[in-house]
């Protein structure tokens, strides 16, 4: 597994989509920052509603977790009412949840917003293609991955956004919990009053 190139992530919304795209903020926690790291948990927060989903991966390889993950991330597991599922079942649940946000409009594009390429990589790995010629699940499901720092005009507004994010985490602990971090992304974006996605 190689770290994805950001240029393949920050794609523009499809102008042919049937209506305004949906935005979903998300965050993933994983064993370490290496090419063979394993997803441990993932949290999603819809931009235009109170819909949330938080999953902890039951069959993750916890044994390979870094010291930081063991001390700062894993002790937070079990908080915020997680759904605990195997990777296979997690993928099914996520697809079902995202589809529900569309409210029946299967043509409506979803923009997945995170602050890390690693989050996007681990998210996509839940949905492997069955053969090399098959379009990726993200393409089939009409998902676009975007990074916050590129949405902020390549750093022009990054300092203001980071300030709002730190303010959120000061009030809402614990940081490094996938759902809390996803909520923080949403809150910082809204408090910064940047234009829509």
Range with the lowest mean pLDDT among 41-45, 93-97, 179-183, 193-197?
193-197
**Dihedral class, residue 30 (left if φ above 0, else alpha if ψ from -120 to 50, else beta):** beta
Domain ranges of the chain: 6-192
Across 191-195, average pLDDT = 65
Inter-CA distances, 194 with 40, 117, 161, 191, Å: 31, 21, 9, 8
The residues pairing with 42 across neighbouring beta strands, listed in sequence order, are: 28, 55
Tell me the average pLDDT of the chain.
84
As a whole-number percent, the residues of the chain with pLDDT over 70 amount to 84
Q: What would the CATH number be for the domain defined by 6-192?
A: 3.30.420.10
Would you state the structure tokens that stand for residue 141, as one six-digit string? Answer: 């499901």
Structure-block tokens of residue 81 = 């009412």
pLDDT band of residue 124 (cuts 50, 70, 90) is: very high
- Positive or negative, the CA dihedral 123, 125, 127, 131 is positive
Residue 158 pLDDT class (50, 70, 90 cuts): confident
Q: How confident is the model at residue 151 (pLDDT cuts 50, 70, 90)?
A: low
């Amino acid at each position: 597994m190689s770290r994805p190139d950001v240029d393949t992530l920050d794609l523009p919304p499809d102008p042919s989509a049937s209506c305004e795209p949906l935005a979903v903020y998300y965050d993933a926690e994983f064993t370490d920052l290496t090419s063979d790291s394993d997803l441990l948990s993932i949290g999603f927060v819809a931009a235009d509603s109170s819909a949330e989903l938080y999953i902890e991966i039951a069959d993750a390889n916890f044994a390979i977790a870094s010291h930081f993950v063991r001390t700062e991330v894993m002790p937070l597991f079990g908080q915020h009412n997680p759904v605990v599922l195997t990777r296979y079942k997690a993928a099914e649940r996520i697809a079902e949840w995202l589809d529900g946000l569309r409210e029946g409009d299967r043509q409506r594009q979803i923009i997945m917003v995170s602050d890390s390429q690693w989050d996007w990589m681990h998210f996509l790995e839940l949905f492997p293609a069955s053969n090399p010629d098959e379009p990726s699940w993200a393409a089939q499901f009409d998902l676009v991955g975007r990074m916050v720092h590129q949405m902020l005009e390549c750093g022009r507004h990054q300092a203001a956004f980071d300030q709002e994010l730190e303010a959120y985490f000061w009030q809402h602990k614990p940081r490094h919990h996938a759902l809390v971090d996803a909520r923080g992304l949403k809150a910082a974006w809204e408090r910064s009053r940047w234009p829509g996605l």
